[in-house]
Amino acid sequence: MKKYNLLFALSIFLISTQCSSDLEEIDTETTITELTASTDNDNSNSTSQTAVVSSFDHEQMLTNWADNIIIPSIINFENSLVKLKNSASIFVNEPSNETLSVLKEEWLNSFLKWQHLEMFDVGLAEEIYYKNRINLYPANVNRIENNISNQNYDLNASSNFSSQGFNGLDYLLFGIGQNEEEIILKYTSEDSKYGKYFLEIIDKMIELTTQVKDSWDDEFRDEFIKSTDNTSTSSINQVINDFIFYFEKGYRANKIAIPAGRYSDGPLPDRIEAYHGKKYSKILILEATDAIDNFYNGRFSNDITSSGLSINDYLSYMESDQDDKLAEKINEQLKKIKTKLTELNTDFSEQIRQDNLEMLITYDIIQANVVFLKVNLLQKLNINIDYADADGD
């Protein structure tokens, strides 16, 4: 009896394994689902929409991120810094209204390029606290003044992160005098400590940027695009986690929520980005919104009419069997954010003082997308925020 049982069991087992291998064969032959990526750029030179694959091509998405978005953004930013350095040298040698206005233009140009890079806090950038050293605000005005007068400081010390970068330059360009004449005067004094500090900040920014650029060598890039797994350390999960973290922190909290007083008893208008230049906070966040939009939709940094595989495509693939499309909702919400932002005062500190309610409404519109990204997107892609993991059931 028992022998019979065992025999039966064994045969069932064999049949079942046979079945499963049959299934696999059927699968590879018959089920090829067509994937049409990048819906709005069908005539672009991207390689994505021609492919007919049975699954989403994660490596191609990573390749698009690295080759068409991240690396070009670093190069663009580095180039803009070199230009900034040139105009800064000219200004320091020959302080005048003309050289100053060129310098301000280059500063803004470079600051805008940075908005495309801040979200990619991966690899070396993360290790060296790149984003904190380029764009931490508010700038520590007292510390900057002390550094300049003492001439004894180390820009690599974390205590000096808030006395360098774009917001340090912002103070040196707009905040050290009551008017332009007073500011120019600061740079014309004989020892010109201000000019020296100004140039040193830019040198440091160039040094760090070059380091980050060099870290994206062929080896790192190849490793990056091959790391397609769905694990907490894979490229896909890290970049998406960083992207969402940026949207929540660098974008929503720093640019809107903190100055509008979401986390404090009252509003803090002096916490805006580029506080001393006043009129730049809106232009910067609009650029950051475009950067978010472009990356989310896989558009190339140097040609936004072209695109490759993106988070949006990945999401569309994952929710292809569902009716209520999250991918559309995220893009709609990005449009709403842009529309709302254009209604605000160019100077957010002014907006906050006059009508902070509008800032809080803006916050709510951005917040809706935080929830879409952090709750719905991560659920649909089944990506975990890197928690101290525990067994789940």
Partner 1 sequence: MYKIIHNYYSKKKGHPSTLAFFRITFGGLMFFSTLRFWSKDWIESLYIKPVFHFKYYGFEWVNDFGVYIYLLFIICLISSMFVALGYKYRASIITFFLVFTYIELIDKTTYLNHYYLTSCIAFIMCFLPAGKYFSLDSYITGESLDKIPVWTIDSLKLFICLVYFFAGIAKINSDWLVEAQPLSLWLKSKYDLPIIGQNLLQLKETHYLASWFAMLYDVLIPFFLLFKRTKYIAFIFVIIFHALTKVFFPSIGMFPYIMISSAVIFFDASLHIKLLNFIRLIIKKLQLFLGLKINEIRLNKFIITKNNRVVFLSLSCFLLFQLIFPFRYILYPGELFWNEQGYRFSWRVMLVEKRGYTTFKIQDSITKKFFYVRNKDFLTPFQEKQMSFQPDFILEYAHYLGEHFKSQGHENIQIFADSFVALNGRINQRFIDPDFNLLNTQESFYNKNWILPLNDKIKGL
Q: Which residues contribute to the site for partner 1 (CB under 8 A)?
A: 5-6, 8-9, 12-13, 16, 23-24, 27-28, 31, 33, 54-56, 58, 228-231, 261-266, 318-319, 321-322, 324, 326, 329, 370-372, 374-376, 378-383, 385-393
Nearest approach, Cβ of 387 to partner 1 (angstroms)? 5
Q: How far apart, in whole angstroms, are the C-alpha atoms of residue 60 and residue 310? A: 9
Residue nearer to partner 1 on the CB measure, 33 or 189: 33
What is the rounded CA–CA span in Å between residue 327 and residue 129? Answer: 32
- Residue closer to partner 1, measured from CB, 2 or 43: 2
Token pair belonging to 266: 């009252």
Give the number of other CB atoms < 10 A from CB of residue 204: 18
**For partner 1, the closer CB: 73 or 237:** 237
**Least distance between partner 1 and beta carbon 357 (Å):** 14
Q: Which is nearer to partner 1, 9 or 304 (CB)?
A: 9
Q: Is the dihedral of CA 228, 229, 235, 241 positive or negative?
A: positive
The torsion region of residue 278 among left (phi > 0), alpha (psi -120 to 50) and beta comes to left
- Return d(Cα 90, Cα 220) in angstroms, integer: 37
Is residue 333 within 8 Å of residue 368, measured between CB atoms?
yes
* Token pair recorded at residue 366: 């951005």
Of the pair 5, 43, the CB lying nearest partner 1 is at: 5
Residue 1 or 157: the one with the smaller Cβ distance to partner 1 is: 1
Nearer to partner 1, 191 or 321 (CB): 321
How far, in Å, CA of 118 to CA of 131, rounded?
Answer: 6
Q: Nearest distance from residue 376's CB to partner 1, in Å? A: 5
Q: At its nearest, how many Å lie between partner 1 and the CB of residue 25?
A: 10
Q: Which residues pair with 307 in a beta bridge?
A: 299
Which DSSP string corresponds to 228-293? -SSSTTSHHHHHHHHHHHHIIIIIIIIIIITTTTTTSSS--GGGSTTTTT-TTHHHHHHHHHHHHH
Q: Which is nearer to partner 1, 206 or 360 (CB)?
A: 360
Cβ of residue 370: shortest distance to partner 1, in angstroms? 7
Say which amino acid occupies 380. K
The closest of 68, 88, 303, 70 to 206, measured between CA atoms, is 88
Q: Are 176 and 148 in contact (CB under 8 A)?
A: no
Minimum distance from CB of 273 to partner 1 (Å)?
20
- The CA radius of gyration of the chain, in Å to the nearest whole number, is 26
Tell whether omega for the bond before 138 is within 30 degrees of 0, i.e. cis.
yes
Beta-carbon contacts of residue 301 (< 8 Å; ≥ 6 apart): 68, 69, 72, 73, 76, 116, 294
Instruction: Find the shortest distance in angstroms from Cβ 148 to partner 1.
Output: 34
Distance from chain centroid for Cα 46: 22
CB closer to partner 1 out of 214 and 223? 223
Alpha carbon distance 329, 280 (integer Å): 29
Rounded to a whole number of angstroms, the minimum distance from the CB of residue 184 to partner 1 is: 42
Provide the minimum distance between the beta carbon of 12 and partner 1 in the complex, in angstroms, as a whole number: 6
